[in-house]
């Protein structure tokens, strides 16, 4: 069985624009882990924090440390941009 890290993050802009909360993300991710038969090792939540700077995301850093120490085999997140801020391409 795989040990899963559930990572939830929402910036205040995300929540205002898209309307999903940490609780809603967590509920869906727990359901996914159950469906995939993943053991939930730990839930990591960074609330009200932008993804552009990893230095200010304490739970994200803890999660990476647990991955490094082989406590976690898989990371489950609501959207890929919860892990890392994507750079928008400039239009010419």
Q: Please identify every residue annotated as catalytic.
A: 11
| Eight-class DSSP state of 81 | G
Output the six-digit token pair for 54.
């990893």
Query: How far lies 33's CA from each of 3, 40, 43, 76, in Å?
Result: 10, 7, 12, 8
């Amino acid at each position: 069985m795989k040990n899963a890290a559930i990572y939830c993050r929402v910036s205040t802009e995300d929540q205002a624009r898209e309307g999903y909360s940490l609780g809603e993300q967590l509920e869906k991710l727990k359901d996914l882990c159950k469906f995939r038969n993943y053991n939930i090792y730990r839930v990591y939540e960074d609330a009200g924090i932008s993804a552009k700077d990893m230095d200010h995301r304490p739970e994200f850093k803890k999660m990476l440390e647990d991955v490094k120490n082989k406590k976690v085999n898989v990371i489950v997140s609501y959207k890929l941009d919860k892990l890392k801020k994507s750079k928008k391409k400039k239009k010419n």
